[in-house]
Structure 1
Amino acid sequence: MRAIQKISEELDWKHCSFIRTLLARPTKTGARSQHHSLLKKLRTNYVFGGFDLHNTIQGLIGLSFSTSPKLSHVATIWGMYVRAGMRGSGLSSGLMEAAQKAASSVRTIKLSVVTTNHAAYALYLSYGFTNWATDTAALYAKGIFMTNIL
């Protein structure tokens, strides 16, 4: 792994097959399936990518901050994805650490994870996240409703 860095709009998205793959898998990333949606997120959120020695993106995490004064103490991790071949390499931990550092000014970081993603759930628990609710039928894909742990 070469580096984890903040991603900006200037990244050449149309030539990045990994990002196209992510955009086609909204249940895995929490991102919408439209290109412009992710570009908007890059303008208004923190998105960190993990890059290998060839400068190829291998994973990403997205973090947003509320614009509401009453919620200014809360950040939300809205998506995380790591290529299958990089899972278990420490990349997920590096991405989590980058997001936590970026959110160091807030009191609370929220996230959700689909109940079938046991590896992600274990990662989040290892970083001190706790269950506070269950959202049944939170996602719907390929004719199946999925439950999220919040």
Structure 2
Amino acid sequence: MKAFTVRRINDSDLDDFIRIRLEALRLHPAAFGASYEDWKQKSAEFFAERLRVESVFGGFDLQNTLQGMIGVSSNTAPKLRHVATIWGMYVRAEMRGTGLSKSLMAAAIKAASGAKTIKLSVMTTNHAAQILYRSFGFREWATDTAALCVDGVFYDELLMRLDAESSS
């Protein structure tokens, strides 16, 4: 029996979503393009809008506590609507190794199933995440050198993608 459930985060989970997103940004500043300092200034409406316009999934433990999250953005521009982007993957330390990351990733990929390409980025030093993403078929297509600068330290990002199989 799994020690968690995965479902789309909704308005009733807003406070928990804000907490876990800010926690992720605060604890792992080099893992995200967004910054804790910027996002802690955002209004609850800003976070609620993310839940309305993007698919954000949460992993909840048996006490219904939000323990992890992942987001999926779909592009609406006519020339880019075939591309979805996975963002904000985070699982609390105590839930790592339980299969929650894998379940969150599966939910995100399913939500992006209409896209021809799903993209994500991961720090070049985050080998556990890279292994997870590769297990779903993601492949590297570029390295963004010095993609992020955190406290004067530059970090490289590995750009990965999953392309839908050709139907021809």
Taking structure 2 as the reference length, what is the TM-score of the superposition? Answer: 0.80
Within a 5 Å distance, the mapping from 1:106-145 to structure 2 comes to: 106-145=115-154
* Count of residues in Structure 1 that have an aligned counterpart in Structure 2: 150
Distance 1:47 1:30 in 2: 17
Aligned to 2:69: 60
Q: 2:16–2:66: 8 Å Cα contact kept in structure 1?
A: no
Q: 1:22 to 1:90 in 2, by over 3 A?
A: same
Choose which of 15, 21, 24 in structure 2 pairs with 1:22: 24
Give 1:50 shift.
Answer: 0.1
Q: 1:71 to 1:12 in 2, by over 3 A?
A: closer
Aligned to 1:90: 99
Cα distance per residue 1:119-147 (max 9 Å; x no partner): 00110111100111110111111221100
Taking structure 1 as the reference length, what is the TM-score of the superposition? Answer: 0.89
Q: 1:66–1:74: 8 Å Cα contact kept in structure 2?
A: yes
Aligned to 1:7: 9
Distance 2:117 2:62 in 1: 34
Distance 1:14 1:7 in 2: 9
- For the pair shown, the structure with the greater C-alpha radius of gyration is 2
Q: 1:139–1:146: 8 Å Cα contact kept in structure 2?
A: yes
Give 1:23 shift.
Answer: 4.1
Residue 74 of structure 1 aligns with an amino acid whose one-letter code is V
Give 1:87 shift.
Answer: 1.0
Question: Cα RMSD over matched residues?
Answer: 2.0
Aligned to 1:51: 60
Distance 1:129 1:15 in 2: 26
26-35 or 110-119, which deviates more: 26-35
Within a 5 Å distance, the mapping from 1:70-89 to structure 2 comes to: 70-89=79-98
Distance 2:107 2:30 in 1: 22
Give the secondary structure class of the aligned counterpart of 1:69.
coil
Give 1:101 shift.
Answer: 0.7
Unpaired segments ≥5 residues, structure 2: 160-168
